[in-house]
């Protein structure tokens, strides 16, 4: 009897979860039509939003016992500015500070137990792990001119000699505090907080115009 | 653009940082025994240095950590950055004067540093 009740509860929770997932909105979804226009084959740069990524804020001394236990779950913790460690199921941990990290993962790749696993791993160690999935959204800027678009309003040195593939930093783009992660030669992921997504999305679109708008003959 | 060398992140645009005032102002050992005047001086009185000055900065848009910096308030030359809790590095007394040639460095100790 008890088992039946439990499974019924679990089923109800599942149904509620599916219901909620279908109804949620990403912070920049009203810009998707504009973003899609940038994705033409001849465009030198394109922009898209990758909604609903799982993000977990981790505060821990990476050399402490708790830090080592968390590292065992995440595939290690980065130890210096710019570093990103990768783990199972596409999990990546970005360095934000000497004792502050951002875990990013695709929602589909996880079974929903990650946050609980991290809490258990930290145990009674000093620190915290907090689900921050709806704190930031993810933009992906890609193409041969992606760096040129960012350099218009990001003062960090993005030249490949200083900012190579795989590097992530916390910095500022167009007055918006972001985490910036170079995931490939010409691909950057930008993580603005949700309330800045509209502004930053439009800001990047504006910076992309010279590379995406087809030349109009009437201008000559 | 002025680049600040964050001890954690390396050179970054100054706009990523916020100022925290004079460094090395020690919290009074027995605050309850201070007169109102002494307490006010601890809270509000700071050096107004023209020249090399030890000050606190926080990398608010980056690693969010505080650090100390020796900066010339005339020329904006940054002589050193060092971590919170560390003493300012000893400066060579033969260090050339900067800015308008009015460096007020005394015996290698920047103003505002109580050693
Ligand atoms: Zn920093």
CB distance from A63 to chain B under 8 Å? no
* Ranges of each domain in chain B: 3-83
Buried b (16+ CB within 10 A) or exposed e, B62-74: bbebbbbbbbbbb
Residues B57-96 pLDDT 10s: 999 999 999 999 999 999 999 999 999 999 998 875 544 4
Q: Residue B95: how many CB atoms within 10 A of its CB? A: 12
Rounded Cα distance between A6 and A67, Å, is 35
Confidence at B109, pLDDT banded by 50, 70, 90: low
Mutate to test the interface with A, among B8, B59, B62, B66 (most CBs of A within 10 A): B62
State whether residue B91 is helix, strand or coil. Answer: coil
Closest residue on chain B to A100 (Cα): B63
CB distance from B64 to chain A under 8 Å? yes
pLDDT at A21: 82
Q: Is residue A218 part of a domain?
A: no
CB distance from B1 to chain A under 8 Å? yes
Q: Domain B3-83 carries which CATH code?
A: 3.30.2270.10
pLDDT at A7: 58
Residues B10-67 pLDDT 10s: 999 999 999 999 999 999 999 999 999 999 999 999 999 999 999 999 999 999 999 9
B-proximal residues of A, 148-167, CB under 8 Å:
155-157
pLDDT at B100: 42
Q: Is residue A169 part of a domain?
A: yes
Closest residue on chain A to B13 (Cα): A155
| Cα B43 → chain centroid | 17
Q: Is residue A68 part of a domain?
A: yes
Full 3-state SS string of B96-109: CCCCCCCCCCECCE
Domain containing A134: what range?
45-211
Q: Is residue A59 part of a domain?
A: yes
pLDDT at A109: 75
Q: Is residue A65 part of a domain?
A: yes
| Cα A202 → chain centroid | 18
Q: Which of A51, A165, A56, A39 is nearest to A100 (CA)?
A: A56
What total of structural domains would you count in chain A? 1
CB–CB contact B63 A81 (8 Å): yes
CB–CB contact B63 A156 (8 Å): no
Name residues of chain A where pLDDT drops below 70.
Answer: 1-12, 214-220
pLDDT at B112: 58
Confidence at B111, pLDDT banded by 50, 70, 90: low
Residue A198, min C-alpha distance to chain B (Å):
20
Residues A172-218 pLDDT 10s: 999 999 999 999 999 999 999 999 999 999 999 999 999 987 654 55
CATH code for the domain in which residue A168 is found: 3.30.1360.120
């Amino acid at each position: 009897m008890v088992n039946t009740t439990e499974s019924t509860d679990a089923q109800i929770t599942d149904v509620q979860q599916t219901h909620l997932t279908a109804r949620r909105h990403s912070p920049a979804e009203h810009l998707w039509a504009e973003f899609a226009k940038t994705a033409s084959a001849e465009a030198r740069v394109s922009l898209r939003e990758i909604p609903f990524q799982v993000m977990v804020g981790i505060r821990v001394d990476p050399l402490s016992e708790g830090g080592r236990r968390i590292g065992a779950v995440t595939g290690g913790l980065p130890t210096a500015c710019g570093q990103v460690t990768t783990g199972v199921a596409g999990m990546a941990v970005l360095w934000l500070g000497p004792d502050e990290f951002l875990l990013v993962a695709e929602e589909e790749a996880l079974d929903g137990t990650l946050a609980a696993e991290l809490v258990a791993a930290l145990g009674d160690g000093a620190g915290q792990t907090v689900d921050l999935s709806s704190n930031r959204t993810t933009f992906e800027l890609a193409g041969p001119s992606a760096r040129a678009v960012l350099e218009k309003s990001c003062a960090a040195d993005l030249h490949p000699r200083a900012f190579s593939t795989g590097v992530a930093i916390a910095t500022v783009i167009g007055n918006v505090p972001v985490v910036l992660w170079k995931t490939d030669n010409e691909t950057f992921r930008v993580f603005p907080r949700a309330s800045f997504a509209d502004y930053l999305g439009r800001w990047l679109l504006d910076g992309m115009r010279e590379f995406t708008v087809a030349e109009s003959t009437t201008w000559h | 653009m002025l680049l600040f060398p964050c001890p954690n992140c390396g050179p970054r645009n100054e706009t990523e940082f916020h100022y925290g005032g004079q460094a090395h102002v020690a919290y009074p050992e027995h605050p309850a025994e201070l007169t109102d005047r002494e307490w006010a001086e601890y809270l509000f009185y700071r050096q107004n240095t023209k020249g090399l000055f030890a000050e606190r900065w926080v990398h608010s848009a980056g690693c969010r950590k505080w650090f100390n910096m020796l900066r010339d308030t005339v020329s904006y030359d940054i002589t050193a950055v060092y971590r919170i809790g560390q003493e300012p590095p000893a400066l060579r007394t033969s260090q050339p004067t900067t800015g308008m040639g009015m460096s007020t460095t005394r015996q290698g100790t920047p103003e505002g540093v109580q050693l």
